Amino acid sequence: MSKVLVLGAGMVAKPLVNYLLDHGFEIILGDLNLAQASRLVDNHPRGKAIYADASSPETWRPWVATCDLVVSLLPPPFHPEVAKACLEEKKHFASASYLSETMSAMDEEARASNLIFLNEMGLDPGLDHATAMELIEQAREQGYEIESFCSHCGGIPSRKAANNPLRYKFSWSPRGVLGALTRASKFKRNGQVTEIAGNKNLAQAQIVTIPGAGVFESTPNADSLFYGARYGLEKANTVYRGTLRFPGWAQFWMFMLEMGFLDQERKAMFQKTQAMEAVLQLAGHDSQMDVAAHLQKAFPSHASVFLDALEQMGLLDPTFTISGSYSCFEILLDAALRTMQYDKDEADWVVLHHEFLVSKNGKREKWTSTLTQEGHPEKETTAMALTVGIPLGISVRLILENQIPDKGVMIPILKTIYQPLLKELGTLGLAHTVKKQSV
């Protein structure tokens, strides 16, 4: 019986743990919150919960030697240390996080030890790679030229749960969501490469209409050309990867950027200071500013929407006070954790959509791939957790059952990974729908 050490019992761990237990694996689940880990293991005879502090390796390092594979659901900065422990103990490694340069540097040693270090095996990144590569390989095998590739993915509230001004709630790390707002991007459109500074990225928002799902806005997601090269799309005229949100998201956060409310550098000490006053002070404004009057003057066409969003985030609540050292960004994180969470009966929604323009013998076709999934609040399972945890669980099973012949540090763009992954996801109700039409 293979044994898996899972580090992190957070928002996406439950489906992963359940999948592995259901498929006969022994699981050790470690987390700083031992009660949370114990709840997820739920007294299963092949499950064990342990106390594990990511910043204290002595609490989890000894368990690496006892397992066959380690899954890291920890924050990304901790992955390299876990992976190095796997190298030392000759154990496989898997995570849903972006592949880092530090992790890539372990490739040669992992290959030499006949190990698989699989990264980016979640939703985005993860299923976006797998579903894109399936169609890219089909196009190549059938003799099509890929002229354009656009991919959009988002974890958002279901339309029923999108009931606040921003139409957004957190189904994964708020720090990650807000941090991505100012991430620089790079993409190619109609043959022209465009690089966008982080503070200008939101201004690139574009309309995306997905049949059966609705109208969204998409903002560029990091370096699209980095993945375009890995997909073999260097000759395509358009290569774009974007983050999906409901309309209005970009406009609000552009306002917050313009006001200086997303700054992470400047900090100050506060003692029971009202949150909005602290944000204004940190951003260099008059802490007693009449926010409504300023918005009406500076942003007349959006003043009511922006003010409503600030109010719904709790920033204008006189009882929302902070004490300690804070930046603007950290105050917003506190506000988000307080006010932008799902109620128990609300479902989140994952939408992943690719659009290809392909040509052959002078004829063009539009190929699309769409995956949508709502969460199951009655089962305390989010769509985000399903679409991250289940693919990760399947990949762990494939590794431990020796179904992946390749070795080393990798992401799921290989047919030996994405083909069995997508096949099993289809049997589990997580299939993507492919449509092809002449244009």
Q: What is the pLDDT of residues 248-286, one digit of tens each?
A: 999 999 999 999 999 999 999 999 999 999 999 999 999
Determine how many CB atoms are found less than 10 A away from the CB of residue 133.
21
Provide the pLDDT for residue 170.
Answer: 84
Q: Are 261 and 295 in contact (CB under 8 A)?
A: no
Q: Are 354 and 218 in contact (CB under 8 A)?
A: no
Provide the pLDDT for residue 208.
Answer: 96
Which residues in the chain land under pLDDT 70? Answer: none
CB burial of residue 429 (10 Å; 0-12, 13-18, 19+):
exposed
Provide the pLDDT for residue 332.
Answer: 93
Report whether the peptide linkage leading into residue 125 is cis, meaning its omega lies within 30 degrees of zero.
yes
The H or E element containing residue 278 is helix 275-282
Question: Could you give the CA distance from residue 268 to residue 201 in angstroms, rounded to a whole number?
Answer: 28
Q: What residues contact residue 282 under an 8 Å CB cut-off, 6+ apart?
A: 260, 263, 266, 267, 268, 326, 327, 328, 331
Provide the pLDDT for residue 431.
Answer: 93
- Strands (DSSP E) contained in 41-176 are 47-51, 69-72, 92-95, 116-118, 145-157
Q: Are 10 and 29 in contact (CB under 8 A)?
A: no
The H or E element containing residue 374 is strand 363-374
Place of tokens 């260097």: 234
- Tell me the pairing of strands 47-51 and 69-72: unpaired
Q: What residues contact residue 56 under an 8 Å CB cut-off, 6+ apart?
A: none
In degrees and rounded to multiples of 5, residue 257 shows phi and psi of: -65, -45
Q: Within 13 Å, how many C-alpha atoms sit on residue 423's CB side?
A: 7
Q: Are 372 and 213 in contact (CB under 8 A)?
A: yes
Three-class DSSP labels, 386-400: HHHHHHHHHHHHHHH
Q: Are 122 and 388 in contact (CB under 8 A)?
A: yes
